[in-house]
Amino acid sequence: MLFMVTQTHTPEHCPKDEHGGDKLLFDATAKDIAIKGRYGAWSTHTIWYVVEAETYEAVQRLLDPGMKRCMTYITPIEDVTNR
């Protein structure tokens, strides 16, 4: 299943100048999930991920590192190009 993840943070919690940057907001080693796309709008401190996972729990594990610095919205999505 595909999920659209939207993460926002305040300028005070921006990881831009920290070692690792926005990679501090997700666990790249999380199991049972694949990041299909990662996009950012830096001026609004917003990052979007398109991820594929079998369970919502896998998405939660991916996002654990950002839980104390981001607001996160997770939405199930589907490909409608072949309808």
For residue 24, what are the contacts with CB-CB under 8 A and spacing of at least 6?
A: 15, 18, 65, 66
Residue 31 lies in a domain: yes
Instruction: Give me the pLDDT at residue 45, please.
Output: 96
> Is 19 domain-assigned?
yes
CATH of the domain at 46: 3.30.70
Evaluate whether residue 2 is within a structural domain: no
DSSP state of 19: T
- Nearest C-alpha neighbor of 17 from the set 42, 48, 47, 35: 42
φ, ψ at 49 (rounded to 5°): -125, 140
Give tens-digit pLDDT for 10-37: 999 999 888 878 889 999 999 999 999 9
Residue 56: inside a domain, yes or no? yes
What pLDDT is attached to residue 82?
77
Task: Output the pTM of the full model.
Answer: 0.87
The answer to whether residue 45 sits within a structural domain is: yes
Range of the domain at 34: 7-77
pLDDT tier at 66, thresholds 50, 70, 90: very high
Residue 70 lies in a domain: yes
Q: Rounded distance, CA 13 to CA 31, Å?
A: 26
Number of folded domains in the chain?
A: 1
Q: Does residue 66 sit within a domain?
A: yes
Find out whether 46 and 73 touch, Cβ atoms under 8 Å.
no
